[in-house]
Structure 1
Amino acid sequence: FCFPCRHFATQTTIKPGKHFGNRTFIEHGFRKWKDFTSLLKQHALSSGHKTASLAWQEYTKIKTNSSACVVDQLVSSHGAAIAENHSILKHFKVSILCASQGIAFRGACNKGNYIEILELVASTQPNLFNRLRSRYGHYTSHQYQNDLIHSAAEVLRESIVEEVRQAKYFSVLVDETKDVSKKEQLCLLLHYHRKGIIQERALGCFHIENLNAQSVSNLIIQEVQHLKFDVNYTVAQCYDAASVLSGHLTGVQTQIWEQIPHTIYVHCQAHKLNLVI
């Protein structure tokens, strides 16, 4: 048998002939020892044998050089992608840490907590370290930080919404405050029952142009419906003593009650304590 021809010959490289058409060196084995020398030389000079020998040599090179092996390259590339993704996850973890602890992400005269913590983590993570030192793709700009915050908030909000749907009944808590840009923000929270414990979760702060009772009540109903809750499952509403919110004639509590008659108004206990102090 001819080793390269037996293992690497193809139909296109085998030409018809007495010793090639019947695949002597491939299937049956050479037996005509009388013409041994001449026939072997003829076979060695054939294009089919040369092509098979080249294929054998290429295969040997690939096996001896693991970096050239396609399979090894795919495995190595897959492992590198996993390591790269793990380094990117550190961005999310640092974002969640800053958000959950109430730490400011950016600073006025320094890099900010987000980048400083990320660089601290990168000191023990080579992939993350190289990413932060690269010119592009380090994902630390303020736009990326905001995107991470919004993404984490969306996932958290979806979790809260699912818990409220399982609880079915809920109450709304609303208060108003101004942000640093002097814009009015309406804070919306929900109370609901889960596993024997009353849960209080904030759904967000919403900018509102007018603080009249009609605008506030419309925003509350709008946001509750936006989350695909049935407003008829609202059992209570809680505000402070401001007449716009708690007024019994034209306040928010009255306008909500007119749309959902079974909702009861409860004065905010935190504001009561504040008034006592």
Structure 2
Amino acid sequence: MSAPFVTRFAPSPTGLLHRGHAYSALLAHEAARANRGTFLLRIEDIDATRSRKEFEAAIFEDLAWLGLSWPAPVRRQSAHLADYEAALSRLVAAGLVYRCFRTRREVAQAMASAPHGAMDTFRSDPLPSAEEAERLARGEPFAWRLSLAAAQARLGGFGNLTFQEEGAGPNGETGLIQARPELGGDVVLARKDVGVAYHLAVVCDDALQGVTHIIRGCDLFEAAHVQRLLQALLGLPTPVYRHHRLLAGPDGKRYAKRDKAETLRALREAGMTPERLRQEMGL
């Protein structure tokens, strides 16, 4: 009997979906059908300042228009903060994270002043306990950062960290990939204003939902390296990854919300059909 195949599409309700989202969702849905598996929809709404219920409703509407279906209930990250807090508490207890009191601007300045040739990532050391206590007493905000140094010591190095890539990374990487979590530096796992950050939430969600295959754009290939490390530290299974090409518009720029890419709603209102859209995307 073959192992179950479970994949997911996990948009953030911070804007309307565009062609790039449709391509990723369709690939995941078709992969699930081809493997007699399950396609999950997950709403990644931990960013309370930008997430909107009207965008969530539009996600359901757009995906239904594309002809996709998924089991209910849909997991919303905002309803499962306790899961992420529990995982963070484990990392705190193991000494694998530290409090970082630097602002985003200070972090950017620290990276800019790094020696020439250094990686464009942030790494630091925990503050002395007395200084940290003083800052906490003053109520200064902080972020929990994953300590690469502590993680490396815990695992005896990163040499045994690998993941299977069935698609291709931005430089054509495929097959068994040696994870390089140092590419991400000491990533933020939680903030005071958000509670949990992307990497930790995604790793917890995928494990709790039994996701076996992650199908997403190759712009998230480097994220797999950091997430593979978190899976090892938390004792979670490692899914198979399948990173796909990114769709680009006539101007050669990839579709993105921040660039106000033409939305699926606009395409639908202009008379586009799901069948024609699939053909345009080569599906």
Same fold (TM over 0.5): no
Structure 1 or 2: more helix by fraction: 1
TM-score by length of 2: 0.21
Between the two structures, name the one with larger relative contact order (CA 8 Å, sep ≥ 6): 2
Q: Which has the larger radius of gyration?
A: 1
